[in-house]
Structure formats: structure tokens, C-alpha cells
Amino acid sequence: MQKTIIWDLDNTLYFETEEYKNKLNEVTAKAAIKDFNIPLDIQTATEKVKESYLTYRDGLEIFAKEYKIPHKKLYISYHNYKSDLISMIEPYPGLLEQLKSLKCPQFVFSTSSRDICEKILKHIGLYDFFKERFYSVEDFDVYKKNESTNVYQKLCETIGKKPQDCIFVDDSYSNLNFAKQTGMSTVRIYYRNNSAKDMSFIDSAYKGITECIIGLKKDYDC
């Protein structure tokens, strides 16, 4: 059976540098302070974002919990600020050709908002390739991919594929856990070292996008 690849977008189809990640944390803090009047200075709020990632694998959750702000509102506000950072992303040279060399159908499924996905895909030169084949959690009325299997099931229904026939590729292992529970094969992209190698819900791990594409061809006949 021909497999279908579902790609994560952020830090998978482009690399998030430390500088970019720091900026993301900063704009998350800025959104919380400016749009929701959270009484913290930018530095303290940025530390909270980091804490939130460590605790909840999500940068907004801590503000939603501690200040009782609806997650959806934080999500929308954060993405308004994230938009300004897209120009910092350095596209991978030749990625489009590498993706085209895979024989599997390919989709994108992202935690970023639909609007941001579209802007990023355009910026990294993959918009035409993934046009009408990219989905945001927003499309399923949720704001995370690491909360339940539900959103993965809905995604499969939407694209008309069985989870068993899908390979989900993500840099974030908390997402892969739910993809695996849905029945998908799971592939993790890592960069420095494979910090999740003992996690049984990850079927394969490859270092960086190029190794990943080679691995998908060799190990999954894609």
C-alpha cells in the first residue's frame, strides 16, 4: 500500500534557529502582555513562555491557565505577532526538488494558524506544492496537536486516508505520541542529538530534513 506523508511545518520543513526561537518566545510574551494586560514585564513573561513549553509542550498554556484567558484568544493574538517574524526564516535550498523526488502523496499539518501556514509556505517556496494539501489545527477547531488523537483522526478523514497508511513527520515528540495512538507510523526529525530515542511511539528518527527524505525513501519506500 502506498504510504502518505504528513509533514509538520515549523522546525520540520524549515529550521528554527535559536535567534528565531527566542523571538517566538518574546512575541508570545508580548501578545500576553499587550493584548491581555498581563501584569508582567517582557523578561518575566518570556521566562514564563519557556516554562510553559517545558511543562505543557505549549508556550501559551501557562497564560491560559494562570490568567484564565481562553486559549483560542491567545492563539489568535500570538499569530498576529508571529507574522512579523516570517522574514527571518531561511528557506532550505533545493527542498522543493527533494520533496518532489518522493513518490508518496504529501500533506502538511501544522499547529500554526492557517494564515501563517500559507505565509510561511509561500516564503519557503512550497506553497504551490502544498496548495490545498496543507491543514492547520484551526481547521479542526483546536489549537494544539499534542492533546488528543481526535485531531489526527479528523485529519485522516479529511484527506481520505487511513491512519495506518500515513507517516507523520514532526520534530516534536509530544505530537508524535498522539499520531502513533491513531495508528500512524511516526518519524521524528532531530537536529543536535536524538533526545527521544527511548520513546517507543517513535518508529524512526533522522537527523535533519535531508537525512529524513533519504530515510523515507529507503525505509518506507516513499
Tell me if 134 sits within 8 A of 105, measured CB to CB.
no
**Which residue stretch of 140-148, 150-158, 171-179, 184-192 sits at the interface with Mg ion (rule: CB under 5 A)?**
171-179
- Closest approach of Mg ion to the CB of residue 170, in Å: 6
Of 11, 98, 194, 204, the one binding Mg ion by CB under 5 A: 11
Position 10 contacts Mg ion (CB under 5 A) = yes
Q: Is 64 or 117 the residue whose CB approaches Mg ion more closely?
A: 117
Residue 84 C-beta: closest distance to Mg ion, Å: 19
Site for Mg ion in 76-95 (CB under 5 A): none
Burial class (CB in 10 A: 0-12, 13-18, 19+), 117: buried
Contacts (CB under 5 A) with Mg ion, residues 172-211: 172
Task: At 26, list the grid cell.
Answer: 518574546
The nearest distance, CB 150 to Mg ion, in angstroms, is 19
Could you say whether residue 58 binds Mg ion (CB under 5 A)? no
Supply the minimum distance, in Å, between the C-beta of residue 11 and Mg ion.
4
Cα–Cα distance between 154 and 162 in angstroms, integer? 11
Spatial separation of the C-alpha atoms in residues 186 and 178, rounded to whole Å: 10
CA atoms of 178 and 16, how far apart (whole Å): 23
* Sign of the dihedral through C-alpha 29, 34, 36, 39: positive
Taking the C-alpha atoms of residue 19 and residue 61, their distance in angstroms, rounded to an integer, is 22
Taking the least distance from each CB to Mg ion, the nearer of 106 and 172 is 172
| Under rule CB under 5 A, residue 138 binds Mg ion | no
- Report yes or no: 201 and 177 within 8 Å, Cβ to Cβ: yes
Q: Are 48 and 40 in contact (CB under 8 A)?
A: yes
- Residue 171 in the binding site for Mg ion (CB under 5 A): yes
61 binds Mg ion (CB under 5 A): no
Task: Using CB under 5 A, pick the residue from 4, 8, 134, 168 that binds Mg ion.
Answer: 8
Smallest distance from the beta carbon of 43 to Mg ion, in angstroms?
25
For Mg ion, give the closer residue by CB, 13 or 29: 13
For residue 110, the tally of other CB atoms under 10 A from its CB is 24
Is the Cβ–Cβ distance between 86 and 101 less than 8 Å? no
Shortest Cβ 21–Mg ion spacing (Å): 11
The residue ranges that bind Mg ion (CB under 5 A) are: 8, 10-11, 171-172
